[in-house]
Amino acid sequence: MRRRGALWFWVFVGPFALGLALFTYVPLLWSVTLSFFDAHNTVTPTRFVGLDNYTAMLRDRAFVDSLRTFLVFTAFIVPVTYVFSLSLALMVNRLRTARAFFRSVFFLPAACSYVVAALIWKMSLFSGVRFGLANSVLGWFGGDPVAWLSTTDPPWYWLVIVTVRLWLQAGFYMILFLAGLQRIDPALYEAAAVDGARPGWTVLRHITLPQLRATSVAVVLLLVINAFQAFDEFYNLLSDARGYPPYARPPLVYLYYTALGQGQNLGLGSAGAVILALVIAVVTLGQARWLRLGRTDADG
């Protein structure tokens, strides 16, 4: 009987596990191996260089800058997206009419690709010349056109990046929150009302948020991983035929140019990828721990 179980187990799980091993675990090990070799323009390197690629990467100002930038970016975009999508969910959830309509409108951009969104933002909404929408609006009030993506002082490009991200992602997280809100037992609110709690901040703080904790943990986790792995919208907003400017450059974009660009330094690129992975792991685990600590505090 047990043998039969094992057989059926592998019939069901085997194909998926095999694919995962081949297309995730093999590249993973390969990547780690490459990172210890001098792998210029080759994937079967012969010159072992130990930790040289790692020290080079950690001394590379451009890479360290991009890591630092994205730590800051994450620290900013995660709470902003969290608060924004939670607010959307709370407002939509309380609606009595046209709920499906508003939910669809906010969720619709999730179907839009990052490439398309970047295109709209770069070429029309925040185009640097007069005919961009943002500059047209500025013009009505007598303002001068702003080169949104090319100006570093003040760094207007962050406005472009943050708005495009919120537009693309807020709807998806709103849906997760909506699902979470649906699962809250109405009796809890009734009990609170009996206790004299006014709907509003008190209820939100003492009932809604604690009840949403599981959803919140998941949302924050997804947001963090997402922020560090940013690529598509940055690449399509800011790169040109000559490369990518030295600001707002996600680590993944930098690695893309290092490893798969003309430089073709695959060892260095892999080392950078491993470092990035470690940073993500540390941040995610640290934050998961922190959130869990938060729970014991709240519960205790």
Partner 1 sequence: MTIRRRDLLAAGVGAGVLTACGSNTGRGGGGSGPELAQWYHQYGEPGTERAVRRYAAGFKKARVSVQWRPGNYDQQTAAALLTDSGPDVFEVNGPTLDQIRGGQVLDLTELVAKVKDDFNPAVLTPKTHDGRVYAIPQVIDMQMLYYRKSLLEDAGVEPPTTLDALVDAAHRLTGDKVKGLFLGNDGGAGVLGGTPLYAAGFRFVGDDGEVGFDDPAAARTLGKLHRLYADKSLLLGAPSDWADPSAFVQGLTAMQWTGLWALPRVREELGDDFGVLPFPRDGSQGRPSVPVGAYGAAVSARSRHKETAARYVQWLWVERTDYQEDFALSYGFHIPARISLAEKATALKDGPAADAVRFTTDHGYAQPLLWTPASQTAYQDALSRIIKDGAGPERELRAVVRKVSAELDRVKKTS
Partner 2 sequence: MDDALVRAGRALRLVLLIALALLFLVPFYLLVRNGLAGEEDITSPEWTFFPRQVRWGNVGELFADPSVPFARSLLNSALIAVATTLGTLLLASLAGYGLARIPYRHANKVFYAVLGTLLVPAAVTFVPSFVLVSSLGWISTLRGLIVPTLFPAFACFVFRQYFLGFPRELEDAAQVDGLGYWRTYWLVVVPGARPVFAAVGTIVFLGAWNSFLWPLVIGQDQSAWTVQVALSSFTTAQVVRLHELFVAAAVSILPLLLVFLCFQRWIVAGVERSGID
| Single-letter code of the amino acid located at 147 | A
Q: CB atoms < 10 A from the CB of 108, how many?
A: 11
Q: Dihedral angle at the C-alpha atoms of 227, 40, 238, 164, nearest 10 degrees?
A: -20
Residue 46 interacts with partner 1 (CB under 8 A): yes or no: no
Least distance to partner 1, CB of residue 167, Å: 20
Check if the beta carbon of residue 34 is closer than 8 Å to that of residue 42: no
Residue 229 interacts with partner 1 (CB under 8 A): yes or no: no
Site for partner 1 in 116-135 (CB under 8 A): 123, 127-129, 132
Least distance to partner 2, CB of residue 156, Å: 18
Q: Which of 69, 211, 264, 284 binds partner 1 (CB under 8 A)?
A: 264
Rounded Cα distance, 31 and 25, in Å: 10
Closest to partner 2 by CB, 13 vs 298, is 13
Could you tell which of partner 2, partner 1, none binds residue 214, using a CB distance below 5 to 8 A set by kind? Answer: partner 2
Residue 257 interacts with partner 1 (CB under 8 A): yes or no: yes
Q: Between 48 and 77, how does the x/- string for binding to partner 1 read (CB under 8 A)?
A: -------------xx---------------
Rounded Cα distance, 132 and 128, in Å: 7
Residue 109 interacts with partner 1 (CB under 8 A): yes or no: no
Rounded Cα distance, 12 and 15, in Å: 7
Element (DSSP H or E) covering residue 143: none
| Single-letter code of the amino acid located at 255 | L
Site for partner 1 in 160-219 (CB under 8 A): none
Instruction: Map residue 298 onto helix, strand or coil.
Output: helix
**Who's near 299: CB < 8 A, 6+ residues apart?**
none
Closest to partner 2 by CB, 114 vs 156, is 114
Rounded Cα distance, 122 and 133, in Å: 11
Least distance to partner 1, CB of residue 247, Å: 8
What the block records as the tokens of 298 is: 């709240």
Closest to partner 1 by CB, 79 vs 155, is 155
Could you tell which of partner 1, partner 2, none binds residue 183, using a CB distance below 5 to 8 A set by kind? Answer: partner 2
Chain contacts with partner 1 (rule: CB under 8 A): 40-43, 61-62, 123, 127-129, 132, 145, 147-153, 240-243, 245-247, 257, 260-265
